[in-house]
Structures are given as C-alpha cells and as structure tokens.
Structure 1
Amino acid sequence: MKTRLVTDKIWRLRATGLLLGLSALLVNCQKSGDSDSAIDPDSTGVSVTPPQAVTASGTLTDIVQRTSHLSLLNMALTRAGLTDKLKTGSLTLFAPNDAAFRAAGYSSKASLDSLATADLQRLLQYHVLDSRLSASALPVNVPTSVQTALVTATVSLFKAADGKLYANAGRVVQPDIGADKSVMYVIDRLLTVPTQTTVEVIRTTTNLSMFRLAVERVGAGITNTLLSPTDRGITVFAPSNKAFQEAGFANEDAILAADINRLTEILRYHVVTSRAFSPTLRSGDVSTAQGTPITVAINAKGTTVTGKGNPTVAGIVLKTDLITTNGVVHIIDRVLLPTPVAQ
C-alpha cells in the first residue's frame, strides 16, 4: 500500500535530507516563532540520553538486530512474527528505542509476552509505513497524516521550522537511517494505536462527563466538528468537570438550562482545527473552530491555555495526548471564553 501524504496544499520543497547528526541538534534547538500551527517545547516528558550510533546498512531487520538500544523492539518484532516483513520492499519504520518501551511499561521479554500476539502485531504495524518516507518531503509547521501498515490508522507527522521531527507525541531522535530500499526513524515514545473517535474519548473519560453532556446538548453544532475527518485533524482542550463547576455550571441541570447558542460558541472555542500533540505545542495564539484564537503559554512549570474572554484566568493542561482516530484531546482545568460573560 502506498503511503498517503495528505496536506492542505501541494508542497514543493527542495530535498535537503536530514543528517544523522541532527539528533544532537534536536536537544539544543530553541523554539521558533509564532504561527497557528503549534510547535515544540524542548521536552516530550521522556528522559533523553545521547543516542548510540546506528549503522545504516542492510535491511531494517538487520539494523534493529544489531542496534543495542533497539533490543526490546527486536524482541517485539520476533514475537509478533514481523521480522521478515521488514526485510523486503520499500518501507518506513518508526523504531521506538528501549527507553520508549520501558516508559510504556514493557521492560523485558516477559512483559512483551503478556500482550496477545494480535495486539502486538497491531501495535508494531502502526509504526510501519508501506513505502519509504523522506523527511525532506514533509512541509514545515503543518501536521501531515500518513497511512500506516495498520490500514485503519494514520500517524501524524510534524516537522518544525528548526528541523525537529515528531510522530504523534514521539520525538524523532535519530532520523533518516537508510536501510536498502527502506528508512528508519528512531523515536523516544511507543506510539499508541487510536481506537476511538474524539466524541467516544470524551464520552468514556470519567472527568469529562459535564463536557460530554454539553456536547450532547448542542448536538450537530459541535459533533460535526468533533467528528471532522480533516486530514490535519483536530485538537480539543476539554474542560474537566471541576472546570465547568468553577465556571458557574454547578451541576448537569445548569448545562441543560444554559443558552444553546452561547454553549455552542463556548464548545467550538475549545477545538483547534489541526492536530497538536503536546510536544508540538508552543506559546502563541492558535486559531479555533469558533473563530477567536486561544493563547497557549509554555514554560518550565507546564502548559496553559487562555481565552480572550477570561484572559486573567489561565487554564492549566492537566492531562495530554489522549489520541483519537481524528485528533487528540488535552484535559484542562478551566472553561475558556471567547468573549466576556455579559453582566
């Protein structure tokens, strides 16, 4: 199956390639200037150590098997019976390093063996593209969805202006490792296979029950946006139940009694019309489905988002990167307002 690179417009970029030495640059680069697409803080939340060199020769399987910090990936591929797949054809492999597997709770062969074979196969197939992807072909500052070998799921790739490259919430720490007709990108996170739509994630997340009720009350005015199949995806900053209560919605009856037009406006204000995982967020104004931008601020203490209608109260991002089939959800502790509440 051919990899589909989907963007809003056709990009013609001069092929520059990414040198293996870029991995060192990724650690030291400063954040770039503002735009509506969200870009990188310096940390993905996973501790980073200087990666060991990877010898770029042979098949993808050959490279994985002889690279010490890919030993858990090698165990997983062997257990799933996928080593032969990586020996032929033109492929792209996003290879989680050992630190990524350990951070996800898989630190040994025994822990990998606890996964059902079919589940492990699905997980690993989500890290493979059925054609070779060159990072130089990706647009800058634009989320790009690519079809994976797991036919039902895509991965969101993001190349920042400073050259940093991300796959979903995972940072590429060693890019463009050539392997016969294929290529490997070592990443610092094990990617999570999305299984639910954005609406389903909101519906099944316990501390979003008031947000879910508001979505159900508004109906098509917001669900059409939340189910949007756009290639760039969506990002939802979902207020927690406590956030709704502190905004004056004491209980579910208060949501049911709220003005429907105002409620629609508020909900759409929490949706960004492109996919932004936490490592690709950056400080600045970001456009929303409602039309008025929100303001993202990132510092050493964490990430906040602020509405133009309540600018003195920043919403703290409590939980990040709830991946969905068409985007990502971040839970916040404030309801954002596009305009001030009428007195």
Structure 2
Amino acid sequence: MMNIVSVFVWLFSLIGITPLDPPNTDGLVDHGSVGNLVTDAGNILHVLRQSGATSFLSYAQRCPWVLQELGGRSGYTVLAPTNRAFEEIPRVIYNAMNSSAEVTEWYLRYHILLDAIPRSEMWDNRLVPTAFKPPQSVNEPVQLMRFNTYTVWNDMLTEYEKVKTASGSPITKFDLTASNGIVHIIDRVMYPIPTGSNLARYFELEPKYSSLYSALETANLTLAISTPDFKPLTLLAPNNGAFDKLSKAQQELLKNTTILQQVLTYHVMVGSYYSAAIYEDFQHPSLEGSTIYFQKGAGGVSAEGKMVVSFDTTVTNGVVHELNGVMFPRSLNHLLSKE
C-alpha cells in the first residue's frame, strides 16, 4: 500500500487539483472575512493566534471549512502543533500540504475533535471522533483520536513524570479555553494520517510488510491482531528487509508453525505504546510472555538490538513501529546456538 502522502499526491494528479497560491497572496478565502474571524475575541482562531500557533492558523486560512467552523461553531477541540513542529515535518508531507487546499484540510481535520475535551477528560485509551474522514471511500467513518497517559523517566528531573498524548503526540499546553471550544498545544504534527485500517489490514496492504503479513497468515495470527479499537495492540513490525536478513538456521526454525507463532507474538505488546512512552531502559512484556527491552542512544531507539526505523503509524486498533530486524525470544537461543 502506498503511504498516505503518496495516496494524496496520486489523488491530486488524478483529479487535477490545482496548487495553492503562495501563502502571502490572495488564495481561497476572503481575507477580509478571515481578519474578522481571527480578531473575534475569544473564538478558537483568536486563541490559536494568542497562543502562538500561527502556522496552524496560517494553514487554516487556506481551508474555508476549517476557518468557518473554528471561527463560529461551538463544540470543537483543536490539537494545534507548535510552529516548530510544522517546520520539522518531512519534506514530502510539507509539499503535499502546500500543493492542495484539500490535502491541507485533511491534515487539519485530523487535529480537530468533534467534542470539547478538557485535560480532565483525557483518560488513558479514550477514543474521540476527529473531523477527518478518509478520502478513499465515502463509506468510511470519521477517524478516531486516541488519548494515552504514560509514566516516563525524565533524565533532567531525575524522576518519573506523567505524559499525555494525542495519537502519540505529547501535549505540552492544556485547556486554552475559547468561546466555542478548547485548544491544546502539541509538539508534533500527527502523521501519517490513519487510513481506517486495523493492524491486519494495514500489513496486508502495505508492500514493505508483505513478508510479515505472509508470516502472520501462516501462523494463523491475522484474527488475533484484529482486536476491537478499544483493545489496542502495539506491534514492532519487521520490514521485508528484516526477513531477508534471517540466517538459514533462523529461516529453518520459522518453518515450525508453533515457533513462528512464538516469534511473531514476541513482537506484540498489549496496549497502545507510542514513541512518547519509550525511554532509556524501557521494558514491557510481549504477548508471547517474554519481556522486550528498549534502549535509546545516539543512533536511535532499538528493541532487543533491532533498530526502530520509523515510529507511530496509527491504525484503528493500535500503533505500529517499524523494525529493521526480527526479534527472537531468549527461550529459543538454545535452538540457534550452533549457528
């Protein structure tokens, strides 16, 4: 499956969406009306400007639906990335957001909740509808945002602290109250946008995980990872390259279905553990039963010595982190000791 940005870019070329005008020129909305909405003391747009979330506001001014809804209607929550967060998005996403008002609106809609949610109501694993609906099908429901609360080690404070996240993005400022809703500030733009797939469907459609999906089918585990949305899983997903690097002895071992199940369930953690939950020496039991140990260093984050290539792909029933290797439980070491 193409990633969501590639899908967006393909969609524009297919339907002939014209690029936006440069940010400083007249574009899609009446700038006189924009000024009135933003200066309307107390609404969400005004709070965004007052809080310094001007990049989000600038993008909103290109999207009539976003502008009108946040400038007038009540009952919204906005998770607004900082200006720095927008500066740090990958270039391909930046280009996608700046090539079409429609794509910009898709990203902003995923940061808008269809309810006013204060910090006190962000309990762990709560799912809230966003204003984003996948463009692939009119039959898809709106996508949900998942709140999580993690206890993580803070090296600077030398103590544990609570971190709240929205679809994995840490929330840094809470409860900026507007006349028509609430604004919270987050430190990362949430991407890729969910496509409406659960874990099994995502691996089936994503080309870089074709080997993993084949293994899951052979091990009869596709149903096991198709849990309801309210019972999320975290999957440390070896990419195709990871399977290509397996030794002959490892490949022979995985021909045993029972051992294959053991190895694959060793890559699964019960719960949604985004990168914000992972700190130096973080450890967590796997679905297989053994503990997975994480380490953070200059080269990045590793799980049992396998590098995490990419983090935080949200699916309907959890989150995926991409690995460059296949992890084997220590209980199998004796079967590989003769390599």
Q: Structure 2-normalised TM-score?
A: 0.70
Question: How far has the Cα of 1:231 moved from its partner?
Answer: 1.4
Counterparts of 1:99-138 in structure 2 under 5 Å?
Answer: 99-104=84-89, 112-117=97-102, 119-138=103-122
The aligned counterpart of 2:233 is: 234
Q: 1:73 aligns with which of 56, 72, 79?
A: 56
- The answer to whether the 8 Å contact 2:47/2:176 transfers is no
Unaligned runs of 5+ in 1: 1-54, 307-313
- The answer to whether the 8 Å contact 2:79/2:183 transfers is yes
- The answer to whether the 8 Å contact 2:253/2:259 transfers is no
Report whether the alignment pairs 1:91 with 2:92. no
- The answer to whether the 8 Å contact 1:158/1:280 transfers is no
Report whether the alignment pairs 1:145 with 2:121. no
Distance 1:263 1:257, change over 3 A: closer
User: Which amino acid counterpart does residue 340 of structure 1 have in structure 2?
Assistant: L
Cα distance in 2 between the residues matched to 1:166 and 1:257: 37
Question: How far has the Cα of 1:120 moved from its partner?
Answer: 2.9
Q: Structure 1-normalised TM-score?
A: 0.69
The aligned counterpart of 1:199 is: 200
Report whether the alignment pairs 1:260 with 2:252. no
Q: 1:275 aligns with which of 260, 272, 285?
A: 272
- The answer to whether the 8 Å contact 1:238/1:329 transfers is yes
Cα distance in 1 between the residues matched to 2:240 and 2:75: 48
Cα distance in 2 between the residues matched to 1:232 and 1:218: 21
User: Which amino acid counterpart does residue 303 of structure 1 have in structure 2?
Assistant: V
Q: CA RMSD in A?
A: 3.0
User: Which amino acid counterpart does residue 318 of structure 1 have in structure 2?
Assistant: V
Cα distance in 1 between the residues matched to 2:113 and 2:119: 13
Tell me the SS of whatever aligns to 2:84: helix
Tell me the SS of whatever aligns to 1:226: coil
User: Which amino acid counterpart does residue 218 of structure 1 have in structure 2?
Assistant: A
Deviations 1:212-234 (A, max 9, x none): 22112123xx1112221241521
Question: How far has the Cα of 1:341 moved from its partner?
Answer: 4.2
Q: 1:336 aligns with which of 308, 314, 327?
A: 327
The aligned counterpart of 2:242 is: 243
Tell me the SS of whatever aligns to 1:164: strand
The aligned counterpart of 2:158 is: none
User: Which amino acid counterpart does residue 323 of structure 2 have in structure 1?
Assistant: I
Q: State the identity %.
A: 22
The aligned counterpart of 1:208 is: 209
Question: How far has the Cα of 1:133 moved from its partner?
Answer: 1.3
Unaligned runs of 5+ in 2: 1-38, 133-140, 152-160
Tell me the SS of whatever aligns to 2:177: strand
Greater fraction helix: 2
Question: How far has the Cα of 1:124 moved from its partner?
Answer: 1.7
Structure of higher RCO (CA pairs closer than 8 Å, 6+ residues apart): 1
Question: How far has the Cα of 1:111 moved from its partner?
Answer: 6.8
Cα distance in 2 between the residues matched to 1:330 and 1:147: 23
Counterparts of 1:41-52 in structure 2 under 5 Å?
Answer: none
Distance 1:279 1:249, change over 3 A: farther
User: Which amino acid counterpart does residue 281 of structure 1 have in structure 2?
Assistant: I
Distance 1:165 1:300, change over 3 A: farther
Deviations 1:35-85 (A, max 9, x none): xxxxxxxxxxxxxxxxxxxx9x60102222455x42332232222212221
Cα distance in 1 between the residues matched to 2:63 and 2:114: 17
Tell which deviates more after alignment, 148-157 or 242-251: 242-251
Tell me the SS of whatever aligns to 2:247: coil
- The answer to whether the 8 Å contact 1:59/1:88 transfers is no
- The answer to whether the 8 Å contact 1:305/1:315 transfers is yes
- The answer to whether the 8 Å contact 1:235/1:327 transfers is yes
Tell me the SS of whatever aligns to 1:143: coil
